Structure 1
């Protein structure tokens, strides 16, 4: 006589939290892209650091290039700064550089990934659309795009010389005076439109 086997009891499944998974993947990607660059970061490594299956990276972002773009798009976000007190813009921006202890910044991601043509193209495009253009609109005439570019050069040069290719004059003993200079120079470029 044949007695059918009872089906295996289903294991309880945890409900997926898509937003939490997506955020974990983006955080892991930002850490790895900003410390290893695009070429030396694999999707499996990102998934492992995020604590997810690597197939989820593909499901959420399509490809490694899509993941890089989404990660940089999230990291390059200047809009909240443009709603603060214009007279304190230099102090507020520079405070982000010095006082934020979050994920590695987008500058490292872009510089370490510049050798890859797709990552480079995404970096250039997103820098323009997410930083330069909104900053230029906020600055207003005269020469808003030139001033936005000068601010980007100032900040990028500082962050590169302080974090990515550290130079001795930016050692801890001298960083306070550099901070004051960066605040004042940033504010001077912002105030050019008010003169």
Structure 2
């Protein structure tokens, strides 16, 4: 996907049409604009159903297994990060993140501070994936990954279980 590899500013409708082997006018007919195409690409690529199918009591370990099984950076995260410099793409990304990740994850978590805990999970997961896949840092090398995966599983589970949350919240220690 062009947006995930090059970002919003460096991707044109012609690039995407060429990759799909269609006329650029057809892309614009269906999506209206490059912004409409970006919105549709994000909406299509953010797929949280596997997360919501997990039992809350095992989410920490299972989410780490899902991350480690992925061979590449999740497309929606790279699309959002690489496109954050464009105000229009930024606004589209923030809306998609709220509507497709934060609010549904808060509904899944339920309980005290569910929305704040959902935001904490998003922060934890996107930070890990960014430092591991998009901007790889040496401390996340293969030989250290099992230790870090264990930490990520524990941190995720603590947030899911309501044992960790924003300072001053009922779920904070």
TM-score (norm 2): 0.87
Q: Report the structure number with the largest CA radius of gyration.
A: 1
TM-score (norm 1): 0.78
CA distance in 1, matches of 2:126, 2:88: 21
Q: Please tell me the root mean square deviation across aligned C-alpha atoms, in Å.
A: 1.7
Q: Are residue 37 (structure 1) and residue 28 (structure 2) matched?
A: no
Extract unaligned runs of 5+ from structure 2: 164-170
Shift of 1:140: 1.0
Q: Are residue 133 (structure 1) and residue 103 (structure 2) matched?
A: yes
Offset from partner CA, 1:77-121 (integer Å, 9 cap, x none):
213421322222122222232213478421111011011111000
Extract unaligned runs of 5+ from structure 1: 1-30
CA distance in 2, matches of 1:104, 1:32: 13
Asked whether the 8 Å contact 1:79–1:134 carries over to 2, the reply is: no
CA distance in 2, matches of 1:174, 1:163: 14
Asked whether the 8 Å contact 2:73–2:133 carries over to 1, the reply is: no
The answer for the alignment partner of 1:97 in structure 2 is 67
The answer for the alignment partner of 2:36 in structure 1 is 66
Matches within 5 A, 1:83-162: 83-101=53-71, 104-162=74-132
Q: Are residue 50 (structure 1) and residue 50 (structure 2) matched?
A: no
Structure 1 window deviating more from structure 2 (138-147 vs 90-99): it is 90-99
